[in-house]
Amino acid sequence: MDTPEISFSLPFILLVSILHSLIPSCQVLACNPNDLTILKGLAACLESDIGGWNVSNSDCCSWTGVTCANSTTSSSLRVVRLELGSKRLYGTVCESLSALDQLRTLNLSNNFLQGSLPTRLFQFQNLEILDLSHNDFTGFLPVSIRLPSITSFDISDNHFSGAVNFSLCDISTTIQVLDVSNNNFAGEASTFFRSCTSLLHVYINGNSLSGAFPVNLLRLPNLQRLHLQDNHFSGQLDDRIGNLSNLVELDVSNNNFTGYLPDVFGSLGKLEYFKAISNKFTGDLPNSLVNSPSLAKVVFSRNLLSGPINFNCSAMVRLSTLDLGSNNFSGPVPDSLSSCKTLTAFNLARNNIGGEIPNSFRNLQALKYLSLSNTSISNISSALQILQNCKNLNMLILTKNFDQEEMPNNVDLQFKSLKALIIPNCRLRGSLPIWLRASTMLRLVDLSANSLSGSVPPWVGDFRYLFYLDLSNNSFTGGIPETLTRLQSLIYNNITVERFFSEFPLVKTRQNASGLQYNAVDSLPPTLDLSYNRLTGPISPSFGDLKQLHVLSLCHNQLSGAIPGGLSGMKSLETLDLSYNKLSGQIPHSLVQLSFLSKFSVAFNQLYGEIPTGGQFLTFLDSCFEGNSGLCGTNFKPCNVERTPPPPQPGSSGDDRMEVFGLNFAIGIAAGFLASVTYCVSRPFKCSKGHGRTRSR
Ligand SMILES: *[C@@H]1O[C@H](CO)[C@@H](O)[C@H](O)[C@H]1NC(C)=O
Ligand SMILES: *[C@@H]1O[C@H](CO)[C@@H](O)[C@H](O)[C@H]1NC(C)=O
Ligand SMILES: *[C@@H]1O[C@H](CO)[C@@H](O)[C@H](O)[C@H]1NC(C)=O
Ligand SMILES: *[C@@H]1O[C@H](CO)[C@@H](O)[C@H](O)[C@H]1NC(C)=O
Ligand SMILES: *[C@@H]1O[C@H](CO)[C@@H](O)[C@H](O)[C@H]1NC(C)=O
Ligand SMILES: *[C@@H]1O[C@H](CO)[C@@H](O)[C@H](O)[C@H]1NC(C)=O
Ligand SMILES: *[C@@H]1O[C@H](CO)[C@@H](O)[C@H](O)[C@H]1NC(C)=O
Ligand SMILES: *[C@@H]1O[C@H](CO)[C@@H](O)[C@H](O)[C@H]1NC(C)=O
Ligand SMILES: *[C@@H]1O[C@H](CO)[C@@H](O)[C@H](O)[C@H]1NC(C)=O
Ligand SMILES: *[C@@H]1O[C@H](CO)[C@@H](O)[C@H](O)[C@H]1NC(C)=O
Ligand SMILES: *[C@@H]1O[C@H](CO)[C@@H](O)[C@H](O)[C@H]1NC(C)=O
Ligand SMILES: *[C@@H]1O[C@H](CO)[C@@H](O)[C@H](O)[C@H]1NC(C)=O
């Protein structure tokens, strides 16, 4: 009686299971088999796996970075977006990829892809967005690029070479963004950009392009951003640039442009940002520029511009950054600037200014950054009295002015927001000013190369954020205050140096040494520099607590006593210069634990005994030890074989030495070798002023 039931249900189950297997392919379209093959080919072509791709799973539309869409011509789903940016991909891109003919977005940016690109890759009919930036692609681009649908073409930060003469716009009439920056393109760009009228953003910076300003660019009425910086363009800036009435950003920095700036800024009603650093522009600032209501950032440093500084703040209502450094502008410091209510950064360094800071500068309430280095201004008392009213002032740079004046010391000076105070090379007299104590936000203090005297007061150790203190080349006397070894930010790894004004370099130049240029405050190594003073007394062992300190320079003083073995606690130290003092005793063996130490000198002291061997000491040359008649060592003055080795210093236990041979040591020794050779060979008697970093903070 059961039989009919069974005979009925077998076919039924079969039917159900057949139906079941058909349903998915009816309801959900599958990845197109050709596209699947191509993507599998791409994966096979690369030398690395593509994270999130399971090539055994035939539903390629579900793979990471793959987007599919319905197609009018096919019943299957077609791949329309391939987005594999930042996937750590290695290898080359194979030609078969170009058969993904429905592709609208191809993004392979920020990988390690290399080799030249197949010509057919530049022939996608439907491609709208191509982003191949930040890879290692090489070779020429095909002369004929057929991307009729492209809107954004980005091949920046690669090694493409050849001429920028790919006739992109002849075919691509919708292109808006063209970024070929930071490649090796060379030659004249003057004939390129013909018929690119749809372009909004053009980045051709960072190549070796030459010749005159590309004249075809002047025919692009919609252009908003134009970046030509870091090339070899020359000649004058064409007056017809005034035709680009939609321009918002213009950067022509680091080229060889000459002549006057065109007086066309009245027609550039949307221009906010004009950078022209390091060219050879001459003459006065054009009238239309100093009256532009749209300009917010004006950056002209390192040119030959001259004349008075006559910005009309009533007209320039948006001006926030004004960098006129290293030109030939003549003084006085423009009183009128004080009515620029939005001015936050002003650099006038290295111009022929003179006179005093006008009293009206107290009104610059938005001002955060001010540099007036080497402008022959005088009266530091009056300057500080006025500037203390700029309540937002973060960074004050007055290097090389106020020759031999007295540093004001009145308690009522208040710089509450100050993060960096930089007044070196002024031969200022007086003492370390007491008012500094109230500037509790300070990260950086550089008062080097003055004639300040008296003792270094203990309150210098109270600054919570201070990580860079340079009091070198003054006449300070007395002992090194113990409080310096309690500077919080040199002990704990919690220094937060926000990127403030990273676009303004801090230029620090010393006589007798190559000029040092720091790119930004946050690229400075944590430093204590008290060299070239008249300090006496011992070096405290508690310096060993400063685990975050990178540079300690105490050379050219009259310090005495032994070198404390505890200095080996300064685990991050790269430079230790104790030369030209009156230090005695032995060099503690524990110093071999300083695995990042690359610049070291104890020359010209009264040290004796065996020079430690091992660690970075293997890389230090004889000149780092000379002038100590009692020192000996393997490569230096051989030690008397009968002499017993010095007793081990506290802290140089077996365990500590094991640590030395870790990874840090390997990195340190590699970096240290080169640095110490150049340092000790080329400038054997000088204090280290190098600031080469071996790793980032
Ligand atoms: C890859 O896909 C196949 C087929 O769908 C599946 O059997 C396999 O488990 C998948 N592998 C991984 C690692 O997901
Ligand atoms: C794709 O096509 C199917 C069937 O033709 C339709 O049901 C679906 O809505 C379409 N999907 C999209 C995103 O167009
Ligand atoms: C490409 O992908 C990266 C992520 O890796 C993204 O940052 C970038 O904006 C994408 N490019 C375009 C043009 O969308
Ligand atoms: C640029 O390419 C076009 C088209 O191939 C060619 O006619 C022209 O001579 C080239 N120009 C230069 C300067 O190489
Ligand atoms: C500018 O021109 C000079 C002399 O012709 C040349 O030495 C220099 O390299 C050029 N600089 C740039 C940035 O092209
Ligand atoms: C471009 O500027 C020049 C000179 O300023 C002017 O003669 C010309 O008519 C302008 N061309 C266009 C298209 O605006
Ligand atoms: C400064 O700008 C104001 C407002 O645009 C204008 O009225 C004045 O004439 C300008 N002064 C000079 C000297 O150009
Ligand atoms: C700088 O300007 C002065 C006049 O203020 C002039 O005598 C001098 O030649 C100029 N220097 C340069 C390098 O242009
Ligand atoms: C200071 O400026 C003068 C002229 O402006 C220049 O000759 C000199 O080299 C500058 N000094 C430094 C240290 O920049
Ligand atoms: C500096 O300026 C102050 C205030 O303006 C003035 O009293 C003083 O005489 C000036 N000092 C010098 C040396 O010019
Ligand atoms: C010390 O500063 C003076 C200027 O104040 C300078 O002439 C001298 O070269 C500097 N010495 C060192 C060693 O930096
Ligand atoms: C850094 O850490 C120490 C110890 O935890 C703390 O006392 C100090 O206030 C911290 N400094 C900052 C700037 O956060």
DSSP-derived secondary structure for 122-133: G--SS--EEE--
**From CA 136, how far away is CA 92, in angstroms rounded?**
10
Cβ-Cβ contacts under 8 Å for 595 (sequence gap 6 or more): 571, 615, 616, 660, 662, 664, 665, 667, 668, 669
Q: Which two tokens stand for residue 276?
A: 């022209």
∠ CA 634-596-460, rounded to 5°: 115
Name residue, tokens 């400038």.
683
For ligand 1, is residue 404 a contact (CB within 6 Å)?
no
Smallest-distance ligand from the CA of 553: 11
For ligand 1, is residue 54 a contact (CB within 6 Å)?
yes
Q: How confident is the model at residue 205 (pLDDT cuts 50, 70, 90)?
A: very high
Which helix (H) or strand (E) covers residue 256, if one does?
Answer: strand 256-259
Q: Could you tell me what percent of the chain has a pLDDT over 70?
A: 83
Compute the distance from residue 62 Cα to the ligand 5 centre, in Å.
53
Across 15-29, 335-349, 504-518, the highest mean pLDDT is recorded for 335-349
∠ CA 136-137-138, rounded to 5°: 115
Q: Whose CA is nearest to atom 4 of ligand 7?
A: 315
Q: Whose CA is nearest to atom 3 of ligand 8?
A: 328
Compute the distance from residue 352 Cα to the ligand 9 centre, in Å.
9
Smallest-distance ligand from the CA of 303: 8
pLDDT tens digits along 432-449:
999 999 999 999 999 999
For ligand 1, is residue 73 a contact (CB within 6 Å)?
no
**Topology agreement, domain 260-393 and domain 403-648+663-697:** yes
Q: How confident is the model at residue 671 (pLDDT cuts 50, 70, 90)?
A: very low
CATH class assigned to 403-648+663-697: alpha beta
Compute the distance from residue 141 Cα to the ligand 4 centre, in Å.
13
Hey, which of 66, 108, 109 would you mutate to test ligand 3's pocket, going by the most ligand atoms within 8 Å of its Cβ? 109
List pocket residues of ligand 7, CB cut-off 6 Å. 291, 312, 314-315
**From CA 503, how far away is CA 74, in angstroms rounded?**
53
Smallest-distance ligand from the CA of 253: 5
Tell me how crowded residue 336 is: count the other CB atoms within 10 A of its CB.
Answer: 16
Q: Whose CA is nearest to atom 1 of ligand 11?
A: 449
pLDDT at 52: 86
Residue ranges per domain, the chain? 260-393, 403-648+663-697
Furthest CA-CA distance within the chain? 120
Residue 420 has pLDDT above 50, yes or no: yes
List pocket residues of ligand 12, CB cut-off 6 Å. 464-465, 488, 492, 494
Compute the distance from residue 257 Cα to the ligand 4 centre, in Å.
25
List pocket residues of ligand 3, CB cut-off 6 Å. 83, 85-86, 107, 109-110, 129, 131, 152
Compute the distance from residue 377 Cα to the ligand 7 centre, in Å.
28
Residue 128 has pLDDT above 60, yes or no: yes
CB distance 499 to 475 below 8 Å? no
pTM score: 0.84
pLDDT tens digits along 52-111:
899 898 899 999 999 999 877 777 899 999 999 999 999 999 888 989 999 999 999 999
Ligand 9 atom showing the smallest separation from residue 351 Cα: 5
Compute the distance from residue 38 Cα to the ligand 7 centre, in Å.
65
pLDDT at 511: 34
For ligand 5, is residue 256 a contact (CB within 6 Å)?
yes
pLDDT at 521: 60
Q: Whose CA is nearest to atom 6 of ligand 3?
A: 85
CB distance 551 to 597 below 8 Å? no
Q: Provide the residue count of the chain.
A: 697
Compute the distance from residue 328 Cα to the ligand 8 centre, in Å.
6
In sequence order, what E strands does 196-248 have?
A: 201-203, 208-211, 225-227, 232-235
**From CA 563, how far away is CA 586, in angstroms rounded?**
7
Q: Which amino acid is at 265?
A: F
Q: Whose CA is nearest to atom 5 of ligand 4?
A: 143
**Considering Cα of 584, then 586, then 590, then 591, what sign does the dihedral take?**
positive
pLDDT tens digits along 464-492:
999 999 999 999 999 999 999 999 999 99
For ligand 5, is residue 427 a contact (CB within 6 Å)?
no
**From CA 51, how far away is CA 479, in angstroms rounded?**
60
Tell me how crowded residue 291 is: count the other CB atoms within 10 A of its CB.
Answer: 17
Q: Whose CA is nearest to atom 8 of ligand 8?
A: 328
Tell me how crowded residue 127 is: count the other CB atoms within 10 A of its CB.
Answer: 27
Cβ-Cβ contacts under 8 Å for 72 (sequence gap 6 or more): none
**Considering Cα of 558, then 580, then 458, then 426, what sign does the dihedral take?**
positive
For ligand 11, is residue 371 a contact (CB within 6 Å)?
no
Residue 665 has pLDDT above 90, yes or no: no
CATH class assigned to 260-393: alpha beta
Residue 673 has pLDDT above 50, yes or no: no
Q: Whose CA is nearest to atom 10 of ligand 8?
A: 328
